[in-house]
C-alpha cells in the first residue's frame, strides 16, 4: 500500500493506493467516532462489491446505503435533493459521514452532496473506476451538471481521505480501464516523464491489469495530481494544465450528447488535437509528438464518433474554461512538460478539428 499526501491551501489528507483497502477505510475513518455513516454507491458496484464492503464494518455499525443510478443523466440537482431527503429521513446530522463508493459520477455528486448537506459534512472517496482513482477523486472538485453544461454547479470540498482500491478494478469493464489509462498518459505528458516512459514501454502489462504495473501507474498519476492541486487548489494557474485535451475533448462530449464517448476517450481525441497544434507551432519536436501519439494509440482504440466542424467549434466556444472570449489550450512542450496558452486562433482550432474529424468520423 502506498500513502500519498495531498496538501492544499485549505485541506490536508491522504490518498491510499493498494489492495484490499475496505478494512483500512473502516478502521481509519468510519468507525473512529462512532457516528452515522452513509455509503453512496451505484446498484452495479454494490451488486459486485457490496457484500465485501459491508463485511469490513462490525455488525452493530453497518452504514446506511444510498443509491445513485449509473449514467450522466443522473448527475443532477434533482438526485442531490432526493439523496439529501433520504439522509434527513434517516436522521443524518452535521456529524454524519458520507462515503462515495463508485465511479466519477458517484464521487462528484457524492462530494457535492456532502459539501451542501447542512452546509457541509465530512466525506471519504472510495473510487471504483480507474478514471475516478487517478483523477476525479483527488483535488476537491465536486459537482453536478446543468442542462446547459457539465459540472456547472459545484463546490470545492475535500474528502477526509481517498481509498483507491486496485482490487476493485478487477471488475472494471475493459473500455473503462482504457478510458482511465488515457488520464494517466495525460499525467505523464504534462508533468511526469518517468510515468510516460513507463506507460510507453509497458502498455501490454498495464492493459493485462498486472497488479504491480497498475499500482505504479495509479500512484504516479495521483502523485502528479496531488502536487498540482497542492500548488494551485482553485485553478488560477498551474492547475489548468490538468485540462490538457479538454478544450476539444469537452466539445466532442457536448457535440455527441455525452452518450457516445467516455470522458477519458473524448480527452484522448482532445490530446491528439492539442498535439497537432503544438506540432504545427513547432513548440514540440516531431519526434516527441510522435511518441506521445503512439502511446495514446497504444491504450486505444478510441471509439469513432460523428460531428460537424461547426458544431465542435461552437461547443468549444462555450467551454466554461474560456474567459472573455479567448480560446485557451494546454499545449505540450515536450514529454513531461506542458504550458497553458490563451491565443489559439479560430484558424488553428478549425484545422485541428478537421484533422481529428477526418480520423474519428464513423
Among residues 138, 136, 144, 129, the alpha carbon closest in space to that of 246 is found at 136
Residue choice 156, 258, 299, 329 for contact with its own copies (CB under 8 A)? 156
Query: And the C-alpha cell for 154?
Result: 459545484
Least separation in angstroms between residue 120's CB and its own copies is: 7
With beta carbons less than 8 A apart as the criterion, state whether 67 and 92 touch. Answer: no
Interface with its own copies, residue 323, by CB under 8 A = yes
For residues 139 and 270, which CB has a smaller minimum distance to its own copies in the complex?
139
How many whole angstroms separate alpha carbon 210 and alpha carbon 208? 6
Q: Which residues in 3-42 contact its own copies (CB under 8 A)?
A: none
Interface with its own copies, residue 320, by CB under 8 A = yes
Least separation in angstroms between residue 109's CB and its own copies is: 13
With beta carbons less than 8 A apart as the criterion, state whether 2 and 18 touch. Answer: yes
User: How many C-beta neighbours within 10 Å does residue 205 have?
Assistant: 16
> By rule CB under 8 A, what count of residues binds its own copies?
34
239 catalytic per annotation: yes
Choices 21-29, 46-54, 78-86, 129-137 (CB under 8 A): range interacting with its own copies:
78-86
Interface with its own copies, residue 153, by CB under 8 A = yes
119 catalytic per annotation: yes
Interface with its own copies, residue 60, by CB under 8 A = no
Least separation in angstroms between residue 347's CB and its own copies is: 24
Report CA Rg, the chain. 20
Interface with its own copies, residue 342, by CB under 8 A = no
Task: Give every CB contact of residue 212 below 8 A, 6+ residues apart in sequence.
Answer: none
Least separation in angstroms between residue 211's CB and its own copies is: 36
Interface with its own copies, residue 81, by CB under 8 A = yes
Least separation in angstroms between residue 88's CB and its own copies is: 4
User: How many C-beta neighbours within 10 Å does residue 55 have?
Assistant: 11
Interface with its own copies, residue 77, by CB under 8 A = yes
225 catalytic per annotation: yes
263 catalytic per annotation: yes
Residue choice 85, 173, 237, 300 for contact with its own copies (CB under 8 A)? 85
Task: Enter the DSSP assignment of 103.
Answer: S
Least separation in angstroms between residue 6's CB and its own copies is: 18
How many whole angstroms separate alpha carbon 189 and alpha carbon 327? 21
How many whole angstroms separate alpha carbon 330 and alpha carbon 278? 9
Task: Enter the DSSP assignment of 301.
Answer: P
Site string for its own copies, 93-132 (x = CB under 8 A): xxx----------------x--xxxxxx------------
With beta carbons less than 8 A apart as the criterion, state whether 114 and 181 touch. Answer: no
301 prior amide bond cis, ω within 30: yes
312 alpha-carbon distance from chain centroid:
22
Among residues 349, 339, 342, the alpha carbon closest in space to that of 316 is found at 349
Active-site residue (options: 157, 186, 239, 276):
239
322 catalytic per annotation: no
243 catalytic per annotation: yes
Active-site residue (options: 243, 265, 276, 279):
243
With beta carbons less than 8 A apart as the criterion, state whether 229 and 159 touch. Answer: no
183 catalytic per annotation: yes
Task: Enter the DSSP assignment of 349.
Answer: H
Among residues 15, 26, 40, the alpha carbon closest in space to that of 101 is found at 40
141 catalytic per annotation: yes
Strand partners, 14: 5
For residues 70 and 118, which CB has a smaller minimum distance to its own copies in the complex?
118
| Positions that interact with its own copies (CB under 8 A) | 76-78, 80-81, 84-85, 88-89, 93-95, 112, 115-120, 141, 143, 146-149, 152-156, 320, 322-324
Q: Which positions are catalytic?
A: 119, 141, 183, 225, 235, 239, 243, 246, 250, 263
Amino acid at each position: 500500500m502506498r500513502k500519498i499526501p495531498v496538501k492544499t491551501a485549505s485541506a490536508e489528507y491522504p490518498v491510499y493506493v493498494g489492495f484490499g483497502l475496505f478494512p483500512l477505510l473502516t478502521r481509519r475513518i468510519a468507525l473512529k467516532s462512532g457516528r452515522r455513516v452513509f455509503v453512496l454507491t451505484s446498484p452495479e458496484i454494490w451488486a459486485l462489491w457490496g457484500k465485501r464492503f459491508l463485511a469490513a464494518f462490525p455488525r452493530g455499525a453497518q452504514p446506511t446505503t444510498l443509491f445513485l443510478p449509473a449514467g450522466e443523466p443522473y448527475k443532477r440537482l434533482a438526485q442531490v435533493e432526493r439523496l439529501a431527503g433520504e439522509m434527513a429521513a434517516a436522521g443524518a446530522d452535521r456529524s454524519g459521514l458520507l462515503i462515495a463508493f463508485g465511479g466519477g459520477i458517484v464521487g462528484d455528486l457524492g462530494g457535492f452532496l456532502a459539501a451542501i448537506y447542512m452546509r457541509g459534512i465530512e466525506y471519504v472517496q472510495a473510487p471504483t473506476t480507474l478514471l475516478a482513482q487517478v483523477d476525479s477523486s483527488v483535488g476537491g472538485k465536486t459537482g453536478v451538471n446543468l442542462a446547459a453544461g457539465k459540472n456547472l454547479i459545484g463546490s470545492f470540498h475535500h474528502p477526509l481521505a481517498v481509498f483507491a482500491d486496485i482490487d476493485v478494478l478487477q471488475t472494471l469493464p475493459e473500455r473503462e480501464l482504457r478510458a482511465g489509462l488515457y488520464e494517466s498518459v495525460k499525467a505523464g505528458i504534462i508533468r511526469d516523464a518517468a510515468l510516460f516512459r513507463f506507460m510507453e514501454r509497458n502498455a501490454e502489462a498495464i492493459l493485462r491489469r498486472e497488479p504491480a504495473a497498475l499500482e505504479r501507474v495509479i500512484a504516479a498519476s495521483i502523485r502528479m495530481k496531488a502536487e498540482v492541486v497542492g500548488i494551485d487548489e482553485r485553478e488560477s494557474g498551474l492547475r489548468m494544465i490538468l485540462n490538457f485535451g479538454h478544450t476539444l475533448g469537452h466539445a466532442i462530449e457536448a457535440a455527441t450528447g455525452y452518450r457516445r464517448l467516455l470522458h477519458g476517450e473524448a480527452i484522448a481525441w482532445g490530446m491528439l488535437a492539442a498535439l497537432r497544434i503544438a506540432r504545427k507551432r513547432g513548440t514540440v519536436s516531431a519526434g516527441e509528438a510522435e511518441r506521445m501519439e503512439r502511446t495514446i494509440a497504444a491504450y486505444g482504440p478510441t471509439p469513432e464518433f460523428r460531428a460537424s466542424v461547426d458544431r465542435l467549434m461552437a461547443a468549444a466556444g462555450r467551454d466554461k474554461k474560456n474567459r472573455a472570449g479567448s480560446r485557451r489550450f494546454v499545449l505540450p512542450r515536450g514529454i513531461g512538460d506542458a504550458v497553458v496558452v490563451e491565443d489559439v486562433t479560430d484558424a488553428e482550432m478549425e484545422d485541428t478539428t478537421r484533422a481529428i474529424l477526418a480520423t474519428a468520423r464513423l
